[in-house]
Amino acid sequence: MAVSVIALKCPECSSRLCGFDKDRVFFCPSCRAGWEPGEPGRFEKIELSYARPMKPPEKFRLRFYLPFYLYRLSAGCGQSPISARVAELLSRMDKVYVAGYRMTRESYFGEMALIYTEAGVILEEDKNLGDSDRARIGAGTRARDETQPYLRYYPLLIIDKRQDVTDMELCFETAFDKIWAVPFFDLGDQIQEGILGRTFPAIALDTIADFRKVRP
């Protein structure tokens, strides 16, 4: 059986792409771009921005970045009537985040992409990062074709928490925007994400050992 080997080099600048063994999306810190393997020997470019931490811890062992897909959302209703409360909730929803990484027992420890979507988080780009900081990115194990179920599930889950949507016909149109590299901080036994300051056990992230190995 023939095996196709893809060189993990940036198609634009030839720099080594960042990522781990099981990843499906890789990253070029120099070009600030994500690259998703497509046809044999070819990559599809994805816009990438690094988010500025809003709540960094005072002390940490390592800062690294995990990928989040951002989709722009347009929500509406079909022919069936909906309540004023649901209409209000739909009018306020304009984005959906989907994690590009996977975490053990994510529903228990907290799905950060769902939390960001529900909170309407607006990320700000950190334009002052050095090359070594941008290189601490990986764990892109979820490709874009795996994000589709979340684009409807997350909005419905968020609305249903506040108003029962049984028998209501809701419509969602989404458009992919970019990948955000969100800062996370290794505290030893715990990991803290840098936007809302939430923490979870380090063992919940399988790739934490990989991030620790690439520490400069």
Give the residue numbers spanning the domain of 92.
26-213
87 found inside a domain:
yes
Confidence at residue 167, expressed as pLDDT on a 0 to 100 scale: 65
* Residue 201: CA count within 13 A, CB half-sphere: 8
pLDDT (0 to 100) of residue 65: 98
Confidence (pLDDT) at 214: 79
In the numeric block, the tokens 């941008």 are attached to: 134
Number of domains in the chain: 1
Cβ distance 17 to 27 under 8 Å? yes
Helix ranges (DSSP H) in 93-190: 106-109, 112-119, 131-134, 148-162
Question: What 8-state DSSP symbol labels residue 13?
Answer: T
pLDDT at 79: 59
Does the residue 149 lie in any domain? yes
Characterize the bridge pairing of strands 43-50 and 199-201. Answer: unpaired
What is the per-residue pLDDT for 26?
96
Q: Output b/e per residue, 97-134; b: 16+ Cβ within 10 A.
A: bbbbbebeebeebbbbbbebbbeebebeebeebeeebb
43 contacts 37 by C-beta, under 8 angstroms: yes
pLDDT of 2: 42
**Per-residue confidence (pLDDT) for residue 35, from 0 to 100:** 96
Comparing CA positions, the residue from 82, 81, 67, 169 lying closest to residue 116 is 67
Residue 55: per-residue pLDDT: 95
Q: Is residue 20 part of a domain?
A: no
Let me know if residue 50 belongs to a domain: yes
Instruction: Give me the pLDDT at residue 80, please.
Output: 64
The verdict on residue 163 lying in a domain is: yes
With residues binned 3-state (H G I as helix, E B as strand, rest as coil), the percentages for the chain, rounded to 5, are 25, 30, 45
Give the pLDDT of residue 76. Answer: 63
Residues 175, 178, 183, 184: is their CA dihedral positive or negative? positive
Q: Quick check: is 21 in a domain? A: no
How distant, in Å, are the alpha carbons of 6, 86, 145 from that of 21? 13, 43, 19
Does residue 106 fall inside a structural domain?
yes
Residue 186 falls inside a structural domain: yes
Per-residue pLDDT of the chain (216 residues), as tens digits, is 444 556 689 999 999 999 998 999 999 999 999 999 877 668 999 999 999 999 999 999 999 999 999 999 987 666 566 767 777 777 778 999 999 999 998 888 889 999 999 999 999 999 889 988 999 999 999 999 999 999 989 988 888 787 666 666 777 889 999 999 999 999 999 999 999 999 999 999 999 999 998 755
